[in-house]
Structures are given as C-alpha cells and as structure tokens.
Amino acid sequence: MKKALLLVAASTLFTLTGCTETNLEEAKACLADAEQAISDYNLTKADSILSEFGKLFPKSSQQERCDSLREVLDQEYKVIEERRSIYAREGFKAIEEQTEFPVDGNTISISNISEGKIFAGIYDTGNSVAITMNMYVLSEDSEPNIPEVAVYSIDGNQMTRKKTLMTDANNSYSAKSFEVGNFFSKEVVEAPYAIVVKRENNLVRQKPIEFEYHSIITYSGRSHFAKTLTPEDFADGQYILVHIAHLD
C-alpha cells in the first residue's frame, strides 16, 4: 500500500511539473538534438530548438540543461563574430585547413589530396589536370549520405566556384570509402585554388550497379555551392576549407 502511494505521488509530481514519464524522455531527446546541432555547427537549428523548448516542455526538470546549452550556443555566436572579424582582416590565409570534420552526425576524413593526369580510370593526354582525394565516412549508418566537394579559384579576397568533384564510380566498392575528383584546366590548377566542402550530406546513395564480380556505388544530389565566397563566409562553419594550393 505504501509503495502504491509513493508511485501515485511521483506520478502527480511529474504531471504538475509538466514532465510525465513520456515527455521527460521527449525533452531529453529534444535537448540531445540541440546538442548535436551545435556539434554539427548548425547553430540556427540549435537556436530554434532551444527557443521552443520552454513552450513544448513547461516547467521541465531539463530546463537547467537547456539553459546550459543556451550558454554554449551564445558563446559559439561570439566566437563566430570574432572569427569573422579576423578573416575579414587577414583573408583566406587565416582560415585553418580541415581534413577531418563532423557533418550531420557523421565524421568525414579527407586524405591523399593530389594533382595528376588520371581520375576514374581516365588518363588525360591534353592540358587538363585531375584534382583527386580520398574520402572516408565514419557513420553509424551502413550506407550514409555524403557531403559534396567543390574547387574554387582564388583571386584576392574572393573565391569563384569552378566545379564540384565526382565520386569515382569505377573504384567505389565501399559505401564509406572512395576517391573523389575531377579534371580542371591547367590554368585553374596552376593558379591559387581551394578545395571546399559544404557542411551538409546532400549526396544520396543510389542502388548499386551490379556486375559479375563487384558492384559500383553512385550518388545523386547537389549542395548548391555559392558562386563566390569571401573569407567571412567560412566563419560560421557551414563552408569548410579542406585545402588551399599555390596561395603565396
């Protein structure tokens, strides 16, 4: 009898505080989403979640955690403004190259960036040069979507988009590890250029093309890269500078 009364009292307390057993877990999940959004540099999404939290979960026992995340978010906004000021003053050289970074819960690793004459089994005999690299995706998803990569030429404090890079379908035997690249004119490759990733997994894995001894993995979609970028555009983390070449 005493145990039953305690359970009733606990249930009443949860109801009065706006935290039933059901929406307590929902509140925790909501804040977990906000925390993940901050980790993914999606501050607009995190801001929206935290702003709506009090309306969705009034008098929640998780309000203290919500307030803590708000402090973290506010600090991130301050860091972005400081970074934007530095980038505007010092240009692209002030931006740190990143070859490993989070994108929507996955971790992307870039390696073996190179310039050559071969990509996707094609050897160019003319004046074109292939910019290639390896991409590895660390993900709980067995078939993750991936971010798109683009090459921009650099002229002073402005980048201009040239081309996006393609997945080498001939060598993509894994859903998490593959080569990406594309051919560019010699003029583009010998001048200052940058390899840029947009922080969103917009390339969607398609059904594999099956052959006798292996299958080819292809992707569709696009990230709508801005035609031009300035150093300040990298301040909020939505564009990631992977590599800069030939910038004195």
pLDDT digits (tens, 9 = 90+) for 119-169: 888 898 888 999 999 999 999 888 889 999 999 999 999 999 999 998 876
Per-residue pLDDT of 96-114, as tens digits, reads 999 999 998 899 999 999 9
| Number of independent structural domains in the chain | 2
* Shared-domain flag, residues 53 and 103: no
Both 103 and 33 in a single domain?
A: no
Confidence of residue 174 (pLDDT cuts 50, 70, 90): low
Residues 41 and 124 in one domain: no
Full residue range of the structural domain in which residue 27 is found: 2-87
Question: In this structure, are 142 and 162 located in the same domain?
Answer: yes
141: left (phi over 0), alpha (psi -120 to 50) or beta: beta
Q: Domain ends where: 87, 107, 141? A: 87
* Strand arrangement of the beta sheet that strand 228-229 belongs to: 228-229, 158-164, 149-155, 193-198, 239-245
Give the end of a domain, one of 69, 87, 105.
87
Which residue did the predictor score with more confidence, 44 or 241? 241
Same domain for 208 and 112, yes or no, is yes
Q: Give every CB contact of residue 108 below 8 A, 6+ residues apart in sequence.
A: 100, 101, 102, 135, 136, 137, 138, 146, 147, 197
| pTM for the whole structure | 0.81
The predicted pLDDT at position 17 comes to 35
CA 77, distance to chain mean position in Å, is 18
Locate all alpha helices (DSSP H) within the chain, ordered by sequence.
2-16, 21-39, 43-56, 63-90, 186-190
Residue 11 pLDDT level (bands cut at 50, 70, 90): very low
Q: Cβ distance 176 to 136 under 8 Å?
A: yes
DSSP SS3 for 188: helix
pLDDT band at 56 (very low <50, low <70, confident <90, very high): confident
